Chains A and B, each alone.
Chain A
Amino acid sequence: MTPPSTLPALSAAVSRSRDLLEGRRRFIPVSMAGLVLVLVFVVGSLRYSGFLDPQVVLNLAVNNSFLIVLAVGVTFVILAGGIDLSTGAVLALSTMICAWLLREGWPPLLVIPAALLAGTAIGLAQGCIIHFYGVQPFIATLGGMFFARGLCFVISTESIPISDPLFSALAQTRVPVLPGGASLSLGAVIALAVAGAAAYVLHRTRFGRSVYAVGGSESSALLMGLAVGRVKVGVYTLSGFCAALGGVLYTLYIASGNGLHGLGMELDAIAAVVIGGTLLTGGFGYVLGSVIGVLTLGAIQAILVFEGTLSSWWTRIVAGTLLFAFILLQRALAPRAAR
């Protein structure tokens, strides 16, 4: 038997360290996501010279700016315990509205608000259907996805190119961020700003805290007197807005409108959110994680580009593996199963 004097001290120390871990448990998934991103960079830089070039790193944000914005919107929805499958289609609709209205001769400064308004309206409608009629988010947003995708092809079945000078100018605007001349596109700056604003809203406003509360326990949030309805409608509206904004950024990036843009991108966004450590059942997670998730997916893609010989579908395989790993991690860290 262990001498009685050391045993309590030992067990106290053990329980103290466990307490420390337990109290900070909610930060583990997002830290793991950051670790994975760093790991991908380490692997990349060991294999290929030039992988850590500042511009290569910044290009991760540039090439995925639209996905960052999408993922930020989806983060709100998932934190509140829902899901949004319509974001890819709303993005496509947004590119389509931009290209079509420009072709119709609308001034570009009206075109962009129009596209944003359309996406926001779709999100609002989805939110209302989910909240007021108690429809499953999966089904409601699946409907929204078909609706938005179908609307694209009502506008035009063909791709519509964009030649508007303001759009090209915006697309080519670079914002220098590092002394070496490395720069971000306007789209990437907007995306990061959106992520920052989202983090502020989530942590510093009553709406944001209510999102977490609703995701934790909707019935409790109701009894605590929180505006549950406003939160539920709000997150889908916000996600619709983000998808539309992602569409505008995508239009700048690719300079055309097409009903086939962003096929399956809603799933990429969800994957990025989950890889970033947000719990699919709601209530746990951070916007920072979602940004990390997008950058991780982008970095894996960059490795494949550097490799040159691998099929781009390997991105999907790696992303799939990561998803499994993160879901398992969350399973292991999940708060004690309800008794």
Chain B
Amino acid sequence: MGSFICKRSFQSLISLIVLVMLVFFLARLTGSPADLYLPQDASAAVRHDFNEQMGFNDPLYVQFVGFMVGLLHLDMGQSLQFSRPALDVVLQAFPTTLMLAAVTMPLVLLISIVTGSLAAYKPGGIFDRLASFISLLGAATPNFWVAIVGVLVFAVTLRLLPTSGTGTPLHWVLPVAVLTLRPTGVLVQVVRTSMMTALSAAYIKTARAKGVSSRAIVFVHALRNGLLPVITVASDQAAGIVNGAVIVETVFGFPGIGKLMIDSVLLRDFTVIQAAVLVTALAVFVINILVDITYALVDPRIRYN
């Protein structure tokens, strides 16, 4: 296992470096920050000084070497917008995003595994049809619409929840609910299909013949076998949230990494874009390793040697 993790880390490191290089060069193809940061009527001298100070007048390869050398010291440069180290800006926003993912994903897994399994137990039954209908609706409804309607219904009309912001646990209810919706919708479908396959296997018949209770059949025997594709899809969904829940962050005023990234792209704040991509890529890499380990735990046939 140890050597496997080392090998995977090394592979990921290579993709990280390639990614960071790509982001560095592609971002700089998209226009000059001087126009965006200075007033439109700024004089040529002011623009020249700005570019000089920020190093944008240097040849691209000089800028890149400077960036790589800084990276070795974990210095990702100063943010243009905030005039603070870019890495600080990103690391300040990232915990909110991680928390959102950490609260949302267990909920998604719990709801979808229970619902999907029960739906698969009697395919075509009323519960199955209802679950399929609701989960498809959840997967298909746009987040921003649900979020705004949620605010109007639960905050403005019913006055049960705060509209937005952070602070109390109640502030988390609407954002987490909105964020849960789509992954749950998708995952219920995956669990259902995968469980239907598992439940039709021969060993289930044997278990039934032995007189094992149906609850044990579904949640012990079949579930463990049906779980692999679920883990794959769930990790994908988790990576999506870690990359920033832009809509939820925007609507509810959550200071996460998604909105920070979008704003930085629009403002050509290169250092923040680079730092944010690096940090989220690292997080996704960690998720992938965890998923690989989970595979091995769930399925004894998988061994990394």
- Our verdict on whether A and B bind, yes or no, reads no
